Amino acid sequence: MNPHLLTILIFLPLLAAAVMLTVPARRQSAYRYIALVTGLFQLVLSGGMYYLFHPKGAGISQERLYQFVDHIPWIRLDMGGLGRLEIDYFVGVDGLSMPLLFLSALVMVIAIGASWNVQKSAKGYFVLLMTLDMAVMGVFSALDFFLFYVFYELMLLPLYFLIGIWGGVRREYAAIKFFLYTLFGSVFMLLVIVGLYFSVTNPDTGAHTFNMLYMMDPANYVSGSFFSALANQELFSIPARLLGFIVLFIAFAIKVPIVPLHTWLPDAHVEAPTPISIILAGILLKVGGYGILRICFSIFPDAAVQSAWWLGLIGVVSIIYGALVALTQHDLKRMIAYSSVSHMGFVILGMASLTTEGTAGAMFQMISHGFLSAALFFLVGMLYDRVHDRGIYHFRGLATLMPRYTVFVALAFFASLGLPGFSAFIGEVFVIIGTFNAESVNGLLPRWMAIAGSVGILLSAAYFLWTLQRMFFGQPYLKGGGAWSKALTDASPRETAIMVPMLVLALVLGVYPALAFDKINASVLALVELVVGN
């Protein structure tokens, strides 16, 4: 098999973007077809990689257990007294990144499908979308911290423009809020990266390195360096390693997002165009969760154990807070945005438990939330496309007008609220089980957190069912009257073609979760061993 599959996967969108730049701007429809072909090709490629991915490939801290690895020296700069700068183009996948890569490819295809009607400067739009695609793929596969940071920042730029130009009424406000929030996190991340660089050496060459895998091994730390576990350095009377962990955690937690760093999310979602909402919820939030597992937990395992209780608390607060606030929203998209906060809270809670069940459940919840939230935002977009309104109180009895759409909404809602048979159920249940287990396995989380977390499951039923009853049941009554009921046509074939695969996937993963767990297991075991084992 071609060893450069991963590199192809990452840079394919860039090629597509280059092709787009050569196409004259008047040929509007060419762009979306180029994008769609790229997206589908990526989907097939990542699907193939997923199939080829060996379930024993634990990865985490051992390079030989990573798959599809490309490791090429990139920047070698002699810096005199500071030694040689060692930055590699180092990408590879393990059980944490493989499902997320496939998910990203899938969500991208959905987003491209949802962008079908973009008229406003389509060229710029699709070029930015492809750039974003590349950055996302890169983030999930980079194993060199410098490379990771480059991709991480590269994600921000297209998103800023995509929200700021193609968004809703308050798009500039939302775009800037989103940009600043994320930048706030990543700027401090850069400091930690530099700190780690000067603390870690490559055991083979003796040079300082950005290689993440070397950062995971305590033996590679220069003795007495800032982040060395033995040196016990302190800054502002906080242990340096704890501080590094907190800084990185905050950077990623903003993406997840956690309460109280979440307020960019509803605004960004409400103002972003549908495809960008889909990408935001489907992929971008996962970058946060992935980063916490891949970087925070793996590089600072000791600090992760120390702060597990607080992480669990954050998770629980996010779950309940997000659900309660979702309960009072009048804008459908905002409601779903807050439900994302609640559902991602389970991810944090599961990770914090540091048990295999909890962590695997968190991974599964991320995957499941990836396409379920994409489906939900797509459904909102369908309604918005038709009448340019999303107010929950402005609709009633939609089930009579749009039966097929209602079936989709009901299925997506029930899937999201954790009905067994759908993927979210597996994720949430194992997060709860893992949290209960934590007390007997490693004693990190008290059991009441699991009980409090499960209240979130109850609340999610409340807001989804309330919305369902309020908008879809009863006699049809619309704010816009007859004009609206004419505009509200049932789901079109294109929309059906996008919705059905997502719901089928949610169902398949819910019925046969082994499809995902088989690939995740080895990595989760290795990660838990790495964090709790020492």
Partner 1 sequence: MTPDTPTYPILAAFATVLFPFIGFLLSALAGKKAKSGFLAIITIALSVITAGYTFAMVWGEAPIHAQWHWFTIGNEAFHLGIFLDNIAVLMLLVVATVALPVHIYSVAYMKGDPGIHRYWTYLSLFCAAMLGLVIADNLLLTYICWEIVGFASYLLIGFWFTKDAAAQANKRAFIINRIGDIGFLIGFALLYSGFGTLDINALFGMEGLFVVPAATDAPASAAQGGLPAGWITVAGLAFFLGAMAKSAQFPLHVWLPAAMEGPTSVSSLIHAATMVAAGVFLLARIFPLFDGTVLLIIAATGTITALVAAYFALTQFDIKKILAFSTVSQLGFMVAAIGIGMYPIALFHLVTHAFFKCLLFLCAGAIIHEMQHLSDRHQLGIDPQDIRQMGRLRRYMPVTFATMLIASLALVGFPLTSGYLSKDALLIHAFEWAAWQQGVAHIIPYVLTFVSILTSFYIFRLLAKVFFGPTVTAPLANGQAGIHDPSFWMLGPMLFLAACSFFPLFTLQPLHYAHAWLLEGIGVSTPWAPIPLLHVAVPAVTTAATLAIAALAWHWYVKGKYALKTDGLLYRFSLHQGYLDSFYDRVVVGAVLGLANILRWLDKHLVDGIVHGLAAIGRGLASIAGWIDRQVVDGLVRLVGKLAWGLGSMLRHTQAGRLQGYLSSLFLIILVILLYHFIVQA
C-alpha distance from residue 404 to each of 83, 159, 386, 496 (Å): 64, 32, 15, 9
Q: Is 328 in the site for partner 1 (CB under 8 A)?
A: yes
Asked if 336 and 280 touch (Cβ cutoff 8 Å), the reply is no
524 binds partner 1 (CB under 8 A): yes
Among 517, 519, 530, 531, binds partner 1 (CB under 8 A): 517
**Cβ(118)–Cβ(166) below 8 Å:** yes
> Which residues are 238's β-sheet partners?
235
Closest distance of CB 85 from partner 1, Å: 33
Query: Shortest distance, CB of residue 208 to partner 1, whole angstroms?
Result: 34
Considering only 397, 446, 480, 501, the residue that binds partner 1 (CB under 8 A) is 397
Q: How far is CA 203 from CA 62, 215, 524, in A?
A: 14, 11, 26
The answer to the question of residue 260 lying near partner 1 (CB under 8 A) is yes
In 10 A of CB 507, how many CB atoms?
A: 15
324 binds partner 1 (CB under 8 A): yes
Residue 92: CA atoms inside 13 Å, Cβ hemisphere, count? 26
Q: Is 388 exposed, middle or buried (0-12, 13-18, 19+ CB in 10 A)?
A: exposed
Tell me: does residue 466 bind partner 1 (CB under 8 A): yes
Given the complex with partner 1, which of 126 and 346 has the nearer CB atom? 346
List the interface residues with partner 1, window 54-113 (CB under 8 A): none
Nearer to partner 1, 228 or 435 (CB): 435
Give the integer Cα–Cα distance in Å for 319 and 346.
Answer: 7
Q: Which stretch binds partner 1 (CB under 8 A): 87-95, 150-158, 298-306, 473-481?
A: 473-481
Residue 468 near partner 1 by CB under 8 A? yes
C-beta of 205 vs 469, nearer to partner 1: 469
Rounded-to-integer distance, Cα 37 and Cα 392, Å: 36
Q: Which is nearer to partner 1, 77 or 451 (CB)?
A: 451
Residue with smaller CB distance to partner 1, 148 or 338: 338
Closest to partner 1 by CB, 306 vs 400, is 400
Residue of the chain from 457, 498, 502, 531 that contacts partner 1 (CB under 8 A): 457
Any idea of the CA torsion for 69, 71, 72, 77, to the nearest 10 degrees?
Answer: 150
Q: Which of residues 413-442 bind partner 1 (CB under 8 A)?
A: 414, 419-421, 425, 429-430, 432-433, 435-437, 439-441
Q: Is 321 in the site for partner 1 (CB under 8 A)?
A: yes
Instruction: From 65-73, 99-107, 146-154, 516-524, give the range in contact with partner 1 by CB under 8 A.
Output: 516-524
For CA atoms 145, 150, 156, 159, the dihedral sign is negative
d(CA 366, CA 533): 25
Provide φ and ψ at 354, rounded to 5°.
Answer: 55, 30
* Cα gap 474→382, rounded to integer Å: 21
Report the nearest approach of partner 1 to the CB of residue 57 (Å): 16
If the CB atoms of residues 31 and 463 are measured against partner 1, the closer one turns out to be 463
The tally of CA atoms less than 13 A away on the side-chain side of residue 62 is 12
418: CB partners within 8 A, 6+ apart: 424, 425, 428, 429, 457, 460, 461
Name the residue nearer to partner 1 (CB basis): 280 or 337. 337
Residues near partner 1, by CB under 8 A: 177, 180-181, 259-260, 262-264, 321, 324-325, 327-329, 355-357, 360-361, 397, 399-400, 414, 419-421, 425, 429-430, 432-433, 435-437, 439-441, 447, 450-451, 454-455, 457-459, 461-462, 465-466, 468-469, 472-475, 512-514, 517-518, 521, 524-525, 528
